[in-house]
A and B are shown apart, each in its own frame.
Chain A
């Protein structure tokens, strides 16, 4: 034990100090998820293999010719990201639950929203990593240039919204016995607005539409991102406590 007096670090921190502790615990959580993933690679490899399989299956199933390809690309991409994302969201929360680590996090003297943000940022990083690998492969396989600023922005915003609501729902689903089935059943309906807005604006950018036609979808995407993050921030505490 240390020699410090009993009340050593039990003071209630001030606002600025509190904010600093809050951000540091989020950073600690993200660091922990990345370090663990770097070791096991189980989450990323599963997401990646799955994403690549989905793309290939779509290719065979739809027997895409060059013209239809341009119109369905956005849909195929987002279905892929959504499925692969669910896989990651599930694993990431199950890893907390299985050895009781979620309790360990809940015991920490930080506002519980910090746990939400830490997990969500980790999930977002994994999802973006998968996308960063899937996009060039898709581009090469189907001979479509996906590296356009607008499209990349949509992918970022769409993933953000998907992960924001997905992290909250995965915390909910992980408490139940049927979590693997429950997460997609909960998540897909709730995330539909994000996915629709993402597909519409992605298609817009891929087909080179006017900005005026794309921006309503882009705005919708932004609004949903903000709403999902705000709601999760407020209810996460209730979701995780028994």
Chain B
């Protein structure tokens, strides 16, 4: 589903990704772990076609980036560091706007469904400006799944969520995974991703330094695996 070879990304003189190789099968749920500044966000932004690779090959769902990005965008859903929402629009209006940009069929019904899913149905007429951080994050998740994408790229989606919202997110992610969709998610919360992802990759210094299937590791050993990966890098 995702095939990345020798990916290099430079910002000016600074090299952030140094020949990264990455491969994801359809239906896999990859948790991308790594310390601050490792390049996780940079990598996800390239997968999302928001940023151009400096060198290397990126192919998602048979589309080569950046040349075929246009056709690919309909198939990916992104939760980023920022909520990507308009403060002066209501929750519903935000989703309606994005729904139109994606030409989502049966939009009004889908809006109600997604607002229900993220637990914001009661606040749908409120301006996003008045939302708490966690509520904005909920809506950002709703925005990302609105067009039922096949590939989800989630950058620290747990940030700001309360316990209930985390459960909601997990429910969303499990459902997504159950549908055979592909997920790449960054997180700093090992305990949370431990029983969510099907594979754990550690990104450090711009390359993947270790990778393990969930079947091959006990949830309790994940922290040890992560530390070991960083030490040996």
Contacts and interface: CB of A to CB of B under 8 A. Distances in A.
A190 interface: no
Contact of B148 (A9, A24, A40, A105): A9
Contacts of A104: 84-85, 98, 143
Contacts of A108: 73, 98, 101-102
Interface residues of A, number: 37
A39 interface: yes
B52 interface: yes
B113 interface: yes
A99 B74 contact: no
A169 B148 CA distance: 34
Nearest to B104: A9
B100 A24 contact: yes
B194 interface: no
Interface stretch (B29-37, B172-180, B197-205, B214-222): B172-180
B51 A1 contact: no
A109 B73 contact: yes
Interface string A15-39: 0000001001101110110011101
B89 A36 contact: yes
Given A1-B172, A106-B50, A28 B101 contact: yes
Contact of B101 (A12, A25, A36, A37): A25
A37 B86 CA distance: 11
Interface of A: 1-2, 4, 6-10, 12, 21, 24-25, 27-29, 31-32, 35-37, 39-40, 95, 99-101, 103-111, 241-242
B40 interface: no
B123 to A, nearest CB: 16
Contacts of B113: 2
A6 B74 contact: no
A242 B102 contact: no
26 contacts: A2-B148, A4-B148, A7-B150, A8-B148, A9-B147, A21-B103, A27-B100, A28-B101, A29-B101, A32-B89, A36-B89, A39-B127, A99-B86, A101-B84, A101-B85, A104-B85, A104-B98, A107-B48, A107-B50, A107-B73, A108-B102, A109-B73, A109-B102, A109-B103, A242-B45, A242-B50
